[in-house]
Amino acid sequence: MLFWNLIGTAAFLAAFGGLVLRWLAQGGLGLPSPFSDPLPERRGELSGPETWIKVFAAALLFRVAVGVGSVVLYDLLSGAGIGIEGLPQLWQRWDAPHYIHLVELGYGGYIEDGRPLFLVFYPLYVWLTRGVAVLIPDTALAGMAVSWICFAWGSVYFYRLVAEEYGGGAARRSLLLLWAFPFSFFFGGIMTESLFLLTTAAGLYHIRRHQWGRAAAWGILAAMTRMQGVLLIGAACAELWCEVKPLAVKGRERKQAFWSMGRKVPMLVAPVLGSGVYFALNYRVTGDPFAFAEMQQHWSQGFQWFPEVLGYLAKNALTWPKVSTRWEMWIPELLLFPIFGWLLWKSWKKHRSMFTLYAFVYFLLTHCLSWLLSAGRYLSCAVPCFFFAAEELEGKPGRTAALAAVMGLLQCVFCYRYLCWGQVM
């Protein structure tokens, strides 16, 4: 195990070091090839409200189609006959009931084993659903409504981000891959995926446009949705560095460049305020702002270096007693690591550092959990990876269609197993 950890750590240092050198070169530091290789020439496209409305409507209709399709698929294969009226109940699986109870009972009122164990769930989705539940009395349906609307709005921001950087064709291809991803059905569930997609895509969009105030606002919301929301701080710092290029100038100009960057620091680090809201919630409920760490131990969650995580994923994929669990959880999680790792390797010289660094860190942190059960769900929100994949598929419509078809079929399989309480979570 020690040898395996050393290999994994060395690979991490080499990959991360290469990305950092690439970032330094984009900031004006003179470095040799390949770190200083220019980015590929691209022609982005501005889009207007008419296009945004179309994307929003298409995304919302897609979510409705998946919701209705899930009922049809479940009834067809299980013979349950729940009908469309049973849709909210059908999607109350795994973490979903916990979110419903948090909406209805609050963090202090939802107690298990005498403790508020569900402080591990970040609050923004819960609070939004509580607000929507005023209009939609069914809490589960209110939670799905929040997810569907956030998914549609997030798809608009995602489209704008990709279109203005890579063009409309790449944006449409990226959306196709995102929607078809085998675990993207979680975007329609009573969970935080759609809200995190929205806040992350919006945050990255405004960072790329250098609209620091708006980026700060979305970053705060992202950090109130999930712990990984604070990673937008890194993306913002990386983009500001590449915009100002402080190492490309000398003397007084360099000092002015660093001063210009320093003045923006409060907006760059604003997502920590979202984390502060979460810590305040912990303090209000328990008197300890970091009580969530104790609650995570109850759920066997904590930090574990990714080579060790890959080790137990491989072991479970080969030896887990229940074969269905191997195929529903451990084998897909094990396969996703090299697939996304290969994609990051192919992309490190082709994209701005704010995207590559964010994607790399998000990917690694996803695989640094002591008991990783939801890698596919977490990776569905790895926003840059989907337009990295679209870049690799440019000019290859046949491969794009085939990949989307295969992923869509797998999504149907995993969604059905999720609805049947399979080990898809």
**What pLDDT shows up at residue 343?**
97
pLDDT reported for residue 257: 87
* Predicted local confidence at residue 211, as pLDDT: 97
3-class SS letters over the chain: CHHHHHHHHHHHHHHHHHHHHHHHHHCCCCCCCCCCCCCCCCCCCCCCHHHHHHHHHHHHHHHHHHHHHHHHHHHHHHCCCCCHHHHHHHCCCCCHHHHHHHHHHCCCCCCECCECHHHHCCCHHHHHHHHHCCCCCCHHHHHHHHHHHHHHHHHHHHHHHHHHHHCHHHHHHHHHHHHHCCCHHHHHCCCCHHHHHHHHHHHHHHHHCCCHHHHHHHHHHHHCCCHHHHHHHHHHHHHHHHHHCHHHCCHHHHHHHHHHHHHCHHHHCCHHHHHHHHHHHHHHHHCCCCHHHHHHHHCCCCECCHHHHHHHHHHHHHHCCCHHHHHHHHHHHHHHHHHHHHHHHHHCCCCCHHHHHHHHHHHHHHCCECCCCCHHHHHCCCHHHHHHHHHHCCCCHHHHHHHHHHHHHHHHHHHHHHHCCCCCC
Burial (CB count within 10 angstroms: exposed 0-12, middle 13-18, buried 19+), residue 250: exposed
**Using CA atoms, how far apart are residues 171 and 174, in angstroms rounded to an integer?**
5
pLDDT average per 10 residues of sequence, the chain (425 residues): 88 95 92 91 90 98 97 94 94 97 96 92 98 96 98 98 96 98 98 98 98 98 97 97 91 90 94 98 96 90 95 97 97 98 96 97 97 97 98 96 98 98 96
Distance CA(325)–CA(91), nearest Å, equals 20
For residue 299, the model assigns a pLDDT of 85
pTM for the complete prediction? 0.96
- The pLDDT, as a whole number, for residue 410 is 98
